[in-house]
Amino acid sequence: MIRLRRRPLEIRETRLAWLLMTPTLALLAVMALGPLVATIWESLFSHDLRLPWLGRTFIGLGNYTEAASDARFRQALAHTVGFTVTTVAIELVLGLLLALMLDALVRFRGLARVLVLLPWALPTVVAALIWRLMFADQAAPAAELLDWVVPGSSRVDWLAGPQSAWVPIVLAEVWKTTPFMALLLLAGLQGIDRTLDDAARLDGASALQRFRHITLPLLRPAIVVALIFRTLDALRVFDLVFVLTGGGPGTSTEVVSMYAFTSLLQNLRFGYGSALSVIVFVIGFSLALGYVRMLEPVREAR
Amino acid sequence: MNALIKRVAMTALLVFWALPLCWMVLASLRPESALYATTATATAGFGGNHYRALFAERRFWQPMLNSIVVASSTTLLALVVAVPCAYAMARLQFRGKRALMAVVLAISTFPQVSIVPSLFLILRALGLIDTIPGLVLPYLTFATPLAVWLMAGFFRELPPDLEEAARLDGASRLRAAVEVALPLAAPAVATTAILTFLYAWNEFLFALSFTVSPDRQTVPVAIALLQGRYQVPWGQILAAAVTASVPVAVVVLAFQRRIVKGLTAGAVKG
């Protein structure tokens, strides 16, 4: 038997599909994938634009071994991971609360939606500035409010302390991105079949029991998706810290993207900066893969 | 009792999100010496001085104009490129579809900083550093995947019957797409345009890396780099922050339902 040839209609459809996709694929190949590969290639060279006479020499993984023993880099990496874990955890809890509330809200739904959408939609730079100014002085509103909760805390110069400077950073990030988390979870909540919940209520299950055993498991896919988006986003944090503390005091709030940026465009160490940004990429990429694995059983169960 | 707890919690949450915004607007109208004044003394010297200084002395309309041009060009180009691609990925049969979609999604999760060095060298070679196209091109790397993703989600939900009917009437695959599917996609195109515009308006790292002169800066960069000769001009910075937020607020107020739908549609379908 001769293998059946593909029908001409199918071939035409494939041809049309590639035709329609070519502009996007070409654009992404030239402006995104190409540059990524080039960055990886560049990271294998010693290339310092401030010292052009040294040229560009191949040093293999030299930049990576330098990064491994670079205390400033390790510190920035720890900051980034700490920032990501802290903010995403807070955002998940707060976002879930907010989503449950928005779901239960009967009146003022539109108003509440606008209120939470605004911080999300504003430029990060603006959010960073607001929170910086709200902590910049003993009489600044957030500092005063915190003093009211924890008496004596207004003596703290929030932005000057290597640890305390993280408070406005984390608050600003939570303020800006919890709404996104809440909206994703709200969409998940609204997609849940209510009959199960109603049946459990009739059987006498408490609100907490129903939440733990019915709502939460059914919400798992939405939670995982929200976690993926937020984690990947938090790992590349840049503008927020750049504007809020500039990485300071000293380098005590510096994150990896900022250190890579500084190495690249201020110190003009292109090889080393490229290596740092490749590391940022690899961490994000492997996390994304891990999350997708987590999502697979959920998919199959559907 | 339960209702009371609920109400208190809700108020607390909403205050957390509303208060900083209100404070920003009020503080931008106060003299700098009264930046942290309590409400009793705050009305003294209330006015638009910072705004006047921002536009007259700082020429803040220049970054506003740059941002408008960059964000609208990015949105327009991203849509032109992405809509056909999204249609193909959602509606046409071909091999390797899943893998291609995964690549497009993966690109949108790139840390921007990982392509900054190469893009800088490319743009420098093309003579595009410090130009408007030199920002629009990099912006397309995040705007296009976003638009493809949102539009593909929409096209997938469109019932295929209408296009099939048109094809039975003798229309080609392409013609059925353009004349039947595309008009139906208009609301989705609008949603995608809004979200793309917001992302482009807010972008910071590329704008910071690929512009040099103050005349080319976009709004976020201009705000972040606003400096005084002797001290930080907080009043003007706040006024600039409010000004940058106004277009965003207008868009949010006008299209809140659409934005929520677009944001969640892309993610929930995963």
How confident is the model over A200-222, as pLDDT tens digits?
A: 888 888 888 888 888 888 888 88
Q: Is the pLDDT reported for residue A147 higher than 70?
A: yes
pLDDT score recorded for residue B203: 95
CATH C-level class of A78-254:
mainly alpha
Contacts of B268 in chain A (CB under 8 A): 184, 187-188, 191, 222, 225
Contacts of A124 in chain B (CB under 8 A): 202, 204, 220
pLDDT score recorded for residue A220: 85
Which residues in chain B (139-198) have CB-CB distances under 8 A to chain A?
140-141, 144-145, 148, 173-174, 198
> CB contact, 8 Å: B126 with chain A?
no
Percent of chain A with pLDDT over 90: 37
Sign of the Cα torsion A76, A78, A82, A85 reads positive
With bands split at pLDDT 50, 70 and 90, how would you rate the model's confidence at A302? very low
pLDDT score recorded for residue A5: 60
Q: Is the pLDDT reported for residue A29 higher than 90?
A: yes
In this complex, do A27 and B144 lie within 8 Å of one another by their Cβ atoms? yes
Helix (H) or strand (E) holding A58: strand A56-58
Separation of alpha carbons A178 and A248, rounded Å: 25
CATH number where B242 lies:
1.10.3720.10
> CB contact, 8 Å: B225 with chain A?
no
Length of chain A measured in residues: 302
Q: Is the pLDDT reported for residue A26 higher than 80?
A: yes
Give me the residue from B107, B113, B198 closest to A260, CB to CB: B113
In this complex, do A129 and B17 lie within 8 Å of one another by their Cβ atoms? no
Q: Is the pLDDT reported for residue A1 higher than 70?
A: no
Q: Is the pLDDT reported for residue A76 higher than 90?
A: yes
Separation of alpha carbons B85 and B223, rounded Å: 36
Residue B17 lies in a domain: no
Token pair belonging to B176: 């059925």
pLDDT score recorded for residue B266: 59
Residue B20 lies in a domain: no
Residue B142 lies in a domain: yes
In this complex, do B223 and A126 lie within 8 Å of one another by their Cβ atoms? yes
Task: Respond yes or no on whether the N-terminal peptide bond of residue A52 is cis (omega within 30° of 0).
Answer: no
In this complex, do B202 and A124 lie within 8 Å of one another by their Cβ atoms? yes
Separation of alpha carbons B198 and A120, rounded Å: 10
Helix (H) or strand (E) holding B205: helix B205-210
Containing structural domain, residue B191? 59-269
Count of structural domains, chain B:
1
* pLDDT, one tens digit for every residue, chain B (270 residues): 567 777 777 787 778 888 888 888 888 888 777 677 665 555 666 778 888 888 888 888 999 999 999 999 999 999 999 999 999 998 888 888 888 888 888 887 778 888 988 898 899 999 999 999 999 999 999 999 999 989 998 888 888 888 888 888 888 888 888 888 888 888 899 999 999 999 999 999 999 999 989 899 999 999 998 876 667 788 888 899 999 999 999 999 988 888 888 887 755 444
> CB contact, 8 Å: B95 with chain A?
yes
Separation of alpha carbons B231 and A5, rounded Å: 76
- Sequence-separated (6 or more) residues with CB below 8 Å from residue B155: B86, B87, B90, B91, B181, B185, B188
Return the amino acid letter for A156.
V
Separation of alpha carbons A165 and B160, rounded Å: 55
ipTM above 0.90, yes or no: no
Interface test with B, best of A20, A111, A256, A266 (most B CBs within 10 A): A20
Contacts of B30 in chain A (CB under 8 A): none
pLDDT score recorded for residue A296: 61
User: Nearest CA to CA, how far is A20 from chain B (Å)?
Assistant: 5
pLDDT score recorded for residue B269: 47
Residue of chain B minimizing CA distance to A187: B264
With bands split at pLDDT 50, 70 and 90, how would you rate the model's confidence at A180? confident
Contact assessment for residue B118 and residue B234, using Cβ atoms and an 8 Å cutoff: no
Residue bearing the bigger pLDDT, B52 or A138: B52
> CB contact, 8 Å: B42 with chain A?
no
Interface test with B, best of A6, A10, A14, A24 (most B CBs within 10 A): A24
In this complex, do B17 and A13 lie within 8 Å of one another by their Cβ atoms? no
Q: Is the pLDDT reported for residue A7 higher than 70?
A: no
Residue B91 lies in a domain: yes
Residue B45 lies in a domain: no
Residue B10 lies in a domain: no
Place of tokens 């992404």: A28
Of A187, A90, A71, the closest CA to residue B263 belongs to: A187
Alpha carbons within 13 angstroms on the beta-carbon side of residue B55 total: 11
Give me the residue from B20, B82, B120 closest to A24, CB to CB: B82
Q: Is the pLDDT reported for residue A301 higher than 60?
A: no
pLDDT score recorded for residue B170: 80
Separation of alpha carbons A226 and B266, rounded Å: 11
With bands split at pLDDT 50, 70 and 90, how would you rate the model's confidence at A2? low
